[in-house]
Amino acid sequence: MLKKFSQWIGGLATGTEGSGEPRAQLCLFGKHPGWDDHMQDMGLNTERLVEVRRTLYTEGIAGNIDVGAWEKLGAGALPLFEHVFVWRFRGDEFVFGRLWSSSDARGRKKYPMVACVHARGYELTRMAALASESVTRVMEACRHETDAQAVRSVFLRESEGLMARASGIGGGGGGFERFDGGCKSTLAADHSLNADGAVALVRAAYALHREAEPAMKRGLAQSSRGVHLRLPGVRGMGPGGSAWAWTAAVLDLLNMPGGIADGLMAIEAVGGTATGGAGGGVWVDALIGKVTTQELVCLRASTSAIPLTTDVPFHIDAAFGDRVRSKAAMWRGGAAQERAGMHG
């Protein structure tokens, strides 16, 4: 058991990183009552996961805690971490994760625990569902465990299960166009975002046009900060669904369907974070390009501190709005055509 566990956590993998081979890796880090301080990192075996931990946890969460950023928000700060995130790269590569409020054995509660899956080289519709199921099971198990060894057992069991189920999907990748098409169709069907009199989707597209397109022309890698939009949740989707839907929409609106090399991160504040209720996303913070400590203030910032981008009363040309609504109609029509083809 110990030998097998040490193989799972023992340093960066060198044989498959960057080789293009299919990969599905579970990872845990953060705070848990089984450890006196930050828990032992588990599964930090790809360069991408090292990058995610550094950006999200070391620089983002720890950085904001160190400068008291969330305390400065006062009543505008969220009381808890309760988030789903999707970080998409080129093609079918993504990291899907959840973070939730936790503590160490000393009862210190400033940091969350994080569980995530890095995947590439698999058909996206099935792999996205598998990653969500695995991460959710880990989160629920770790919330009920107080012992470090029990967490190690959860990690080992779920890591092996993830690899076994991923092997049933098979490699070859692709399929992200169909997956994104379904996500965009659901978003376009949400009447609160896209209907007669609804302005949310048009305003989101305009903000991308005004802020993201110029940044991409300059080169996201050359910018000291990325582009941040706060977007409303999408009805009819469970936790994580709104994040996936907005990443698909953003990539299409930016004419980058194959993904952005510098990454597109979507952090979904789920129901219990701000409302005390259950269900899907309350809002989604879309971060395009470089993710910095300053952008990640959004994790604990309510809409009184950072309003929805779609609540900003932009002056938008009527022709621009018509183009966005036409694209949304294509999203809905494309899904209908696919369903007809499947049953034809």
Question: How far is 281 from 268, CA to CA, in rounded Å?
Answer: 6
Q: What is the DSSP letter of 305?
A: T
* Number of Cβ atoms within 10 Å of the Cβ of 267: 26
DSSP for 65-82? HHTTTTGGGGGGB-SS-E
One-letter amino acid at 124 equals: L
* Count of CA atoms in the C-beta half-sphere (13 A) of 125: 8
Distances (CA, A) of 66 to 51, 82, 127, 272: 20, 20, 36, 25
Q: Are 231 and 286 in contact (CB under 8 A)?
A: yes
Q: What is the DSSP letter of 4?
A: H
Question: How far is 288 from 125, CA to CA, in rounded Å?
Answer: 22
163 alpha-carbon distance from chain centroid: 21
Nearest in space to 156 (alpha carbons), one of 28, 277, 50, 322: 28
Cα four-point dihedral sign 52, 55, 56, 57: positive
Nearest in space to 186 (alpha carbons), one of 77, 280, 63: 280
Tens of pLDDT along 170-182? 766 667 889 999 9
Cα four-point dihedral sign 227, 56, 263, 300: negative
Question: How far is 32 from 241, CA to CA, in rounded Å?
Answer: 27
Question: How far is 166 from 54, CA to CA, in rounded Å?
Answer: 26
- Per-domain boundaries in the chain: 1-337
Question: Which residue positions in the chain have pLDDT lower than 50?
Answer: 1-8, 10-18, 275-280, 336-344
- Cα-atom radius of gyration of the chain, to the nearest Å? 20
Through-space distance between the first and last CA atoms of the chain, rounded to whole angstroms: 52
The pTM for the full model equals: 0.90
Model pLDDT, residue 43: 97
Q: How many residues does the chain have?
A: 344
Model pLDDT, residue 273: 57
E runs forming strands in 102-192: 112-120
Model pLDDT, residue 289: 87
Model pLDDT, residue 12: 41
